[in-house]
A and B are shown apart, each in its own frame.
Chain A
């Protein structure tokens, strides 16, 4: 059992009594086959009128399940086994299902992580908002339209008149989330639940949405229940914080107290694991001179075909004339927002995507023109580690076969025992037990899978590894471990990394140099310290401004 440390201010008992929402001793389980697997076990907290309450936790900690059980929107294989939720003086679990219609949308609004899938794809924005207005506010026709326009204007959507008649797919990610917020606000709720509202968004958009939530809370006088894994967001918005782990709240306190003296060891672990921008300041700058990979005027263009005969009328310039080099033992970070072409560039260099122009020199020789066996062997000296640890391994193969796949392809003369020894060696190198060899990928956690992927890449003794967002799908604490592993391997094996990421703090932890990519072009390149602390290009500055401020604070010792 973990220790629950409640540090409430004096008079808290009484405050809890007239709280807006109070959850007590909530238990939720999921049915898996014949078993009941607990997801939330004994969670209690309360949210006051007008305050921002943040529920923080890593994936699988049960924070979203808690929010969904309050609204009674759990998936069908989940069930609330115990607990009480009071909204004002209403016991939500005692209400009949039809009466929940007057709670959802009217008293409590909610926004979800992915605005694209959360909006109905075949209904216009106007109708999706109008539906709530009609149901919860009794507005119809012109009145509803007027109110919808007001709402869209209120959530900062430019040109609301136009967007009212549009479908979700016609909007950008940030605009969709604004629409989602407008829908949640349409019933004028007392409480807005924001379940990871910015996780699916780019960092600059993320900052805008957070600002918007803060403003709306202030102006509408409603309470905000923020659910997130990101302590940076918590530091910016929350009045009170609760940390959740494995279905339990391990610590609950006011923001100031929490950030100054986190009590629970797990909270402290979260703090230390968080990558920080200033990490690059404390470590000495290294200089590498021996160029390994030289990319010259690299282009990947996709033709846009139009007309009856599919003539190519234009190109999407995904990567548009990029040049850079990576030295032996060096880590170059490629930073940019989604859609900037950084992943395309990484795959293009490995020839996983056909390039439309430019050269790739590796170890002093041009390898773009190679064909056949020669090309297969040379290209294998560069390897790749992907973002998603779930789709990057064949679910039908055991780990041993996955890791030795490259050996089989490139060194067919190796005997079975040699290969096995090699695989066991590699697995130990990345911090996994030898017998992991005989198990299937699904038996491992996300972080362990990423270790296997790294072992697979290392099997063929590459000189350079393209790391395509290798830690973005991982929890903060696991991310720190993987970054540590990557650092160790780099130093031990004199590896070079082309590290592709959107997260500037991760860059600071690992990279020697940084290249900022925007719309298919590199707009700024320099040492990590230069780019992060003396940015020259306005786009870089914009990226940096959007980073939650906690990341910029001075390194802290616990």
Chain B
């Protein structure tokens, strides 16, 4: 068991390394720092000095992998790769292209992200699973048929329209909630209700369909027939046996995304002007701030790999076949 965990942790190392090298290649080799500087300073009328100055300020004026001019270990450390990429392993993100401390920004902005992402996940799970169970309970009736039809309709609507529609109806017409914005502390709740409702409703279509297939797969198994043969009623069978088995894929599916909750949702946060990591990333993309995008790519990947790790662990906890296998 412990050995298994250690092995999975060790497997994460080459993955992180791969992500790191990939992002490095993407950001520094495909396009040179010179290109970035020109992009920022404007294409046409820019002197070589200005470019050099821009690069020097941000530490992009070093060689990529090997510094001939430096002494000793400096040959390795005085390079862009060491300074910009190796540091990421220690979660030293450095400064953004506009000079802000990225690490501090992340620490500050992850809380609003969590404040919206965690309740959305929990409420979403509860709502979607209950609806899916309802559909499974009423299977082969008209309720199921129309329920599924409604799901297909709901999942054919772009997320953007859910947001726009929600803001218009709940925020503007009915004036129940503020349209967008954020506040610190407990006052934030007022601003979080609308995004929460919208993200849960928008997920109904695909979520309910997905959980329904999971349940249906279980319902057709032999042990369910055994449970019925014991004299259990349909709700007892669904909750006592089907849900219990279906929880394994559901839980492990949720565990993967748990760490990624930190990074928030790009679209929701920017639409509702929530100062989380999602809108941080969007702003960086729009301002073409490579340092922030690079940091977020690495952070996101690291969190996903952590999610994979947690998934493996959760299997061993939830599934006796793996735990005692």
Name, among A71, A102, A105, the residue most crowded by chain B CB atoms within 10 Å (CB to CB).
A105
**CA A76 to CA B231, docked complex, whole Å:** 18
| Number of B interface residues in the complex (CB < 8 A) | 29
**CA A187 to CA B233, docked complex, whole Å:** 15
**CA A71 to CA B231, docked complex, whole Å:** 10
B228 interface neighbour in A73, A169, A308, Cβ under 8 Å: A73
Task: Write the nearest CB–CB distance from A32 to chain B, whole angstroms.
Answer: 16
Say yes or no: A76 contacts B222, CB within 8 Å.
no
**CA A187 to CA B230, docked complex, whole Å:** 8
Say yes or no: A170 contacts B324, CB within 8 Å.
yes
**Which B residues touch A310, using CB under 8 A?**
7
A132 within 8 A of B: yes
Which partner residue on chain A sits nearest B2 by CB separation? A308
Say yes or no: B3 contacts A308, CB within 8 Å.
yes
What 0/1 readout, one digit per residue, does chain A (114-153) give for beta carbons within 8 Å of chain B?
A: 1001111111000000011001100000000000000000
**CA A307 to CA B3, docked complex, whole Å:** 6
A112 within 8 A of B: yes
B231 interface neighbour in A104, A123, A169, A308, Cβ under 8 Å: A104
A98 within 8 A of B: yes
A209 within 8 A of B: no
A-B contact pairs, 22 of them (CB 8 A): A73-B225, A73-B228, A73-B229, A97-B234, A101-B232, A104-B229, A105-B229, A117-B222, A118-B222, A120-B227, A120-B241, A120-B245, A121-B321, A122-B321, A123-B244, A136-B230, A167-B320, A169-B324, A170-B324, A183-B230, A184-B229, A310-B7
B217 within 8 A of A: no
Say yes or no: A131 contacts B230, CB within 8 Å.
yes
Binding site for A on B (CB under 8 A): 3, 6-7, 10, 139-140, 221-223, 225-234, 240-241, 244-245, 248, 319-321, 324-325
**Which A residues touch B229, using CB under 8 A?**
71, 73, 104-105, 109-110, 184
**CA A306 to CA B139, docked complex, whole Å:** 46
Task: Write the nearest CB–CB distance from A371 to chain B, whole angstroms.
Answer: 34
Say yes or no: A167 contacts B324, CB within 8 Å.
yes
Task: Write the nearest CB–CB distance from A123 to chain B, whole angstroms.
Answer: 7
Given contacts A101-B233, A131-B240, contact A120 B226 (CB under 8 A): yes
B3 interface neighbour in A101, A120, A306, Cβ under 8 Å: A306
Given contacts A117-B222, A307-B3, A308-B7, contact A131 B232 (CB under 8 A): yes
**Which A residues touch B244, using CB under 8 A?**
120, 122-123
A203 within 8 A of B: no
**CA A131 to CA B228, docked complex, whole Å:** 12
A132 interface neighbour in B10, B139, B222, B230, Cβ under 8 Å: B230
Say yes or no: A105 contacts B319, CB within 8 Å.
no
A103 within 8 A of B: yes
B222 interface neighbour in A103, A112, A183, Cβ under 8 Å: A112
Task: Write the nearest CB–CB distance from A92 to chain B, whole angstroms.
Answer: 13
A106 within 8 A of B: yes
**Which A residues touch B232, using CB under 8 A?**
101, 105, 131, 135
**CA A193 to CA B109, docked complex, whole Å:** 64
Task: Write the nearest CB–CB distance from B236 to chain A, whole angstroms.
Answer: 8
Name, among B7, B139, B223, B240, the residue most crowded by chain A CB atoms within 10 Å (CB to CB).
B223
**CA A117 to CA B7, docked complex, whole Å:** 31
Task: Write the nearest CB–CB distance from A549 to chain B, whole angstroms.
Answer: 31
- The residues in A between 177 and 194 inclusive whose CB is less than 8 angstroms from any CB of B are 180, 183-184, 187
Task: Write the nearest CB–CB distance from A369 to chain B, whole angstroms.
Answer: 37
| Number of A interface residues in the complex (CB < 8 A) | 38
Say yes or no: A122 contacts B319, CB within 8 Å.
yes
Say yes or no: A118 contacts B226, CB within 8 Å.
yes
**Which A residues touch B325, using CB under 8 A?**
169
Task: Write the nearest CB–CB distance from A127 to chain B, whole angstroms.
Answer: 10
**Which A residues touch B139, using CB under 8 A?**
76
What 0/1 readout, one digit per residue, does chain A (63-96) give for beta carbons within 8 Å of chain B?
A: 0000000010100100000000000000000000
**CA A310 to CA B11, docked complex, whole Å:** 12
**Which B residues touch A76, using CB under 8 A?**
139-140
**Which B residues touch A106, using CB under 8 A?**
231
**Which B residues touch A122, using CB under 8 A?**
244-245, 248, 319-321
Say yes or no: A105 contacts B230, CB within 8 Å.
yes
Say yes or no: A169 contacts B230, CB within 8 Å.
no
Say yes or no: B223 contacts A117, CB within 8 Å.
yes
**Which A residues touch B221, using CB under 8 A?**
117
Say yes or no: A183 contacts B231, CB within 8 Å.
no
Say yes or no: B321 contacts A167, CB within 8 Å.
yes
Say yes or no: A119 contacts B223, CB within 8 Å.
yes
Given contacts A102-B231, A105-B231, A169-B325, contact A112 B226 (CB under 8 A): yes
**CA A112 to CA B240, docked complex, whole Å:** 20
**Which A residues touch B245, using CB under 8 A?**
120-122
Say yes or no: B230 contacts A104, CB within 8 Å.
yes
What 0/1 readout, one digit per residue, does chain A (399-411) give for beta carbons within 8 Å of chain B?
A: 0000000000000
**Which A residues touch B227, using CB under 8 A?**
120, 131
**CA A185 to CA B222, docked complex, whole Å:** 19
**Which B residues touch A117, using CB under 8 A?**
221-223
Say yes or no: B228 contacts A114, CB within 8 Å.
no
**Which A residues touch B225, using CB under 8 A?**
73, 112, 118
Task: Write the nearest CB–CB distance from B243 to chain A, whole angstroms.
Answer: 11
Task: Write the nearest CB–CB distance from B323 to chain A, whole angstroms.
Answer: 9
**Which A residues touch B234, using CB under 8 A?**
97
A118 interface neighbour in B140, B223, B320, B321, Cβ under 8 Å: B223
**Which B residues touch A105, using CB under 8 A?**
229-232
What 0/1 readout, one digit per residue, does chain A (16-54) give for beta carbons within 8 Å of chain B?
A: 000000000000000000000000000000000000000
